[in-house]
Structure 1
Amino acid sequence: MSIKRDGHIHTPFCPHGSSDSFHSYIERAVSEGLHSITFTEHAPLPGNFEDPVPGRDSAMSQELLDRYFYTIEDLKKEYKKDITILAGLEIDFIEGFERETKKLLDETGPRLDDSILSVHFLRTDTTYTCLDYSLDSFASLIEKTGSAEKTAQLYYHTLLLSIRSDLGDFKPRRLGHITLIKKFQQRFPEMEIQKHIGPLLEAVHEEEMTLDYNGAGTAKPMCREPYPDNSIAWEAKKRGIPLIYGSDAHQAKDMMQGLEEMISF
């Protein structure tokens, strides 16, 4: 499948990615014939939220945010004849931190061309777990919820909360990788998500949101399919929900990943 846009790319500002330069991503995009790319770095987490991953490196720091936007503005000018570059963020929806997230969006919204709303952190009682950090962290999440089925239920409940949340005028209109819960599915094949998909897509359609059609899962050894998988992508397409390809690249070589295994849209 050929595409003209990659709507989900990370940058050297990502503390858990590579140090590949912005130029390396842009030059790759130009060489692939893309017309447009969006840099969607992980937005700073709320200051009163404790990042649960060991390295505390899930997102860009608040102190780097201005430099991030200034860098992209310079790149837009440098490459204006070659490709359209959009300034974006991947915004974490964290249950219980909606007010702080709205404040961030109110402050950064005027500088955003594009954005994604994603769920990485799930709340169990008063603690949070990053569901895609590692197999061990995902196993601990299942232990906390009581079963793989309850973990899936919690994930889709949180996604629905994110769709319905009031995050202000600059709330992202695209929902990120809606089957990220399946990253470790070959280790937990008993986890069933299908019953959650219909209500989720209905909510996405009602809110006139789009979906991140994300190739990163195809490269994950215990997933080996896009987020969402192609059956769900077809269902979204039938409902008139736009699919936006995203490589979710954390290094330049990850760009275009998954395309061979994804449906046309």
Structure 2
Amino acid sequence: MKRDAHIHTPYCPHGTKDSLENYIKKAIKCGFEDITFTEHAPLPTNFVDPTPEKDSGMDPHLLVAYLDELNTLKEQYKDEIQIRIGFEIDYIVGYEVETTSFLNLVGPQIDDAILSVHFLKYDDVYTCIDYSSDTFLTFSKKMGSVQAVYDLYYATLKKSILADLGQYKPKRIGHPTLIHKFQLAHGEQIDDDADIKEILQLMADHHNELDVNSAGYAKKYCKESYPPLPYIKHAKSLNIPLVFGSDAHQVEDLHQSYDKIFPID
């Protein structure tokens, strides 16, 4: 069964206004039988988004409209494709209570979700680590090295897997090597093999799913999937469920690089 379970929408403030229906029509045309819309959930109201445009999460005032529109389309296309309603939830150190409250609110109303790390905390300041290469390089200088940033990322990712976020905590861990996004910009050879394998083992131990995310292939400073293919195969050997996600923010990118990943040997 062809499934794409990491898809953004016109409700994304840093995405495009491509319609939900156009995403659905393309998925059907491409032979996908199962899709999940996983818009960036609204950030905690007491969290200050560190990005310049403050656009990392959807507007909370649009939450009801997002759910209503997807429920309508889910019913409309039920005979052609399975549509799941979901969110990409940010794990933010120090905001576990707020995140749990949000999950308790929306959990009964959704079908699927992803838990991702985009924000790293250092010296009581948060940085969106995948925002831009300049942001990454500046943060690396602040921390003293690229290695230190990688170490903090994986430590935060571990916390996300271990965090108690209540009964509606997402099972799927989003793009667990997102820290590779600017690897060709910093140009350093960071050996994080042990870190990635430790994360995957922790995911296996906690019965998580893996977001097999193809978006990195399209990023000019990455050029690989999240995680890279050898680690997708390693995850498969650990019996971690593999769930493809194109992480599309426009219809054009839907299902991008699917054939580079599947089938997995």
Task: Indicate the TM-score class for this superposition, using the shorter chain for normalisation.
Answer: over 0.9
CA contact (8 A) 1:105 1:171 kept: yes
Q: How many positions carry a matched residue from both structures?
A: 263
Q: 2:48 is matched with which residue?
A: 50
What is the alpha-carbon distance in structure 2 between the residues aligned to residue 192 and residue 120 of structure 1?
Answer: 21
Give the corresponding residue for 1:21: 19
Aligned residue identity for 1:230: L
Alignment RMSD, CA only? 0.9
Is the aligned partner of 1:59 residue 2:57?
Answer: yes
Once the 2 structures are TM-superposed, how far is the Cα of residue 261 of structure 1 from its aligned partner?
2.2
List per-residue Cα deviations over 1:99-148 (Å, max 9, x = no partner).
00000001110011000000000000110000111011111221222111
Corresponding position: 1:143 with 2:141: yes
After TM superposition, the structure 1 stretch with the greater mean CA deviation from structure 2, 173-182 or 231-240, is 231-240
Aligned to 1:232: 231
Q: Which residue of 2 aligns with 1:215?
A: 214
Structure 1: tracts of 5 or more residues without a match: none
**Alpha-carbon distance in structure 1 between the residues aligned to 2:113 and 2:231:** 22
1:96 match: secondary structure: coil
Counterpart residue type for residue 84 of structure 2: L
Q: Distance in 1 between matches of 2:168 and 2:205?
A: 18
Residue in 2 aligned with 1:182? 180
Per the TM alignment, residue 192 of structure 1 is displaced from its structure 2 partner at its CA by 2.7
The correspondence of residues 1-265 of structure 1 with structure 2, limited to 5 A, is 4-190=2-188, 191-265=190-264
Q: What is the letter of the counterpart of residue 212 of structure 1?
A: D
Structure-2 separation of matches of 1:140 and 1:44: 26
Over 3 Å off, 4+ runs? none
Work out the CA distance in 1 between the residues paired with 2:196 and 2:246. Answer: 22
1:87 to partner: Cα distance: 0.4
Distance 1:145 1:102 in 2: 30
**Cα distance per residue 1:138-193 (max 9 Å; x no partner):** 11221222111110000000000000000000000000001110011112232332
Distance 1:174 1:93 in 2: 12
Counterpart code for 2:256: Q
Q: What is the Cα deviation at residue 263 of structure 1?
A: 4.5
TM-score by length of 1: 0.97
Q: Distance in 2 between matches of 1:263 and 1:245?
A: 9
Q: Which runs of 5+ in 2 are unaligned?
A: none
In 1, Cα distance between equivalents of 2:196 and 2:105: 33
**Structure 1 residues 187-196 or 127-136, which shifts more?**
187-196
Of residues 183-192 and 106-115 in structure 1, the stretch that sits farther from structure 2 once superposed is 183-192
Identity within the alignment, %: 48
Q: Distance in 1 between matches of 2:213 and 2:77?
A: 25
Task: For residue 21 of structure 1, report the CA deviation from its aligned partner.
Answer: 0.2
Whole-angstrom CA distance in 2 between matches of 1:262 and 1:198: 19
Question: Per-residue deviation at 1:61?
Answer: 1.2
Does the 8 Å CA contact 1:39/1:87 hold for their aligned counterparts?
Answer: yes
